[in-house]
Amino acid sequence: MKTKFSWKAYKEAVENEMREHRSSFILYGVLRFFVFLTLIRQAYLGNYESVFMCVLTLLLFLVPSIMSVSFHISLPAALQNIILIFIYSAEILGEINEFYLIIPMWDTILHTINGFLCAAIGFSMAMLLNDDENLTFELSPLYLALVAFCFSMTIGVLWEFFEFFMDLVFQTDMQKDTVVHVISSVMLNPNGTNQAVAISGITDVVVNGKDLNLGGYLDIGLYDTMKDLFVNFIGAIVFSVIGYFYAKSKGKGELVKKLVPTRAHKPELPPGYQHPLN
């Protein structure tokens, strides 16, 4: 007979898993402290959207440990630290403290890191499958690198889908605008043919009879989306190449070892705990 599922027992199991990596546990505590301070301040100011972002950040902080406990994998401390810092940088520093506006390259840096990390996750998933004793085939280093690259790019595309959905439905501006001075469009062809007409030297944009004084044409998200995907591509390529040589050398490479999860022994869980997937 199955014992009743206990969220309290599951929480204790997650916390025990975190304490196995002391540096990650300390970093988690420090970042969570600053998130709580930000949450209190934003609640005092009445910025309830920012309060929601703080709560979301606290939940995202638990994801690495929950994955580790749920799927019986061991996450390297370096990987956990990077994930925690990435979440804090994107949600608290980027969104609430407006680093996306203060530091022009902030978004680009995060998307590049995201491409690198997602490739590491995709690579580790393929590595864990490759090490499964129940499987009778072995994946080549090139295939492992390809899986890592494709996984990273898929996550990048799905995120851009999410940004477009938020902008379209909730009128946000996640896909940031770009001021450009040259456009090429078929719609502006005076002859109505399927031939693009280039217009250069654009300095003014008029909306509803009002000059916006932008100094150029306002592109609503295309440049930002393609830039994000391109830097995601770079991050994915970099790790895929590193992962290829790691797999080819049969696990010789300290960098990849610090970023790729490995299969762990089934953890000892508190009495009364029942896995949520059972």
- The verdict on 125 and 202 lying in the same domain is no
| Residue 103 CA, distance from chain mean position | 19
Residue 129 located in a structural domain: yes
Residue 269 located in a structural domain: no
Q: What is the DSSP letter of 94?
A: I
Residue 257 located in a structural domain: yes
Residue 39 located in a structural domain: yes
Residue 22 located in a structural domain: yes
Q: What type of residue is 235? A: G
- The verdict on 41 and 99 lying in the same domain is yes
The 10s digit of each residue's pLDDT in 126-161 is 888 776 656 556 789 999 999 999 999 999 999 999
CB under 8 A, 24+ apart: contacts of 224-229: 224/107, 224/175, 224/176, 224/177, 224/178, 225/160, 225/163, 225/164, 225/175, 227/108, 227/111, 228/107, 228/108, 228/111, 228/156, 228/159, 228/160, 229/153, 229/156, 229/157, 229/160
- The verdict on 118 and 203 lying in the same domain is no
Residue 277 located in a structural domain: no
pLDDT higher than 50, residue 83: yes
Residue 62 located in a structural domain: yes
- The verdict on 153 and 191 lying in the same domain is no
The 10s digit of each residue's pLDDT in 189-238 is 999 999 999 999 999 888 898 988 888 998 989 999 999 999 999 999 99
Higher-pLDDT residue of 62, 111: 111
- The verdict on 62 and 192 lying in the same domain is no
Please enumerate in sequence order all residues whose Cβ is within 8 A of that of 139, keeping only pairs 6 or more positions apart, or say none. Answer: 126, 129, 130, 147
- The verdict on 143 and 250 lying in the same domain is yes
Residue 78 located in a structural domain: yes
Q: What percent of the chain has pLDDT over 70?
A: 85
| pTM to 2 decimal places | 0.83
- The verdict on 114 and 11 lying in the same domain is yes
Quick one: average pLDDT of 104-108?
Answer: 93
- The verdict on 252 and 124 lying in the same domain is yes
- The verdict on 56 and 185 lying in the same domain is no
- The verdict on 117 and 237 lying in the same domain is yes
Q: How many domains does the chain have?
A: 2
- The verdict on 168 and 189 lying in the same domain is no
> Three-state DSSP class for 153?
helix
- The verdict on 239 and 210 lying in the same domain is no
What is the extent of the structural domain holding 54?
7-172+222-263
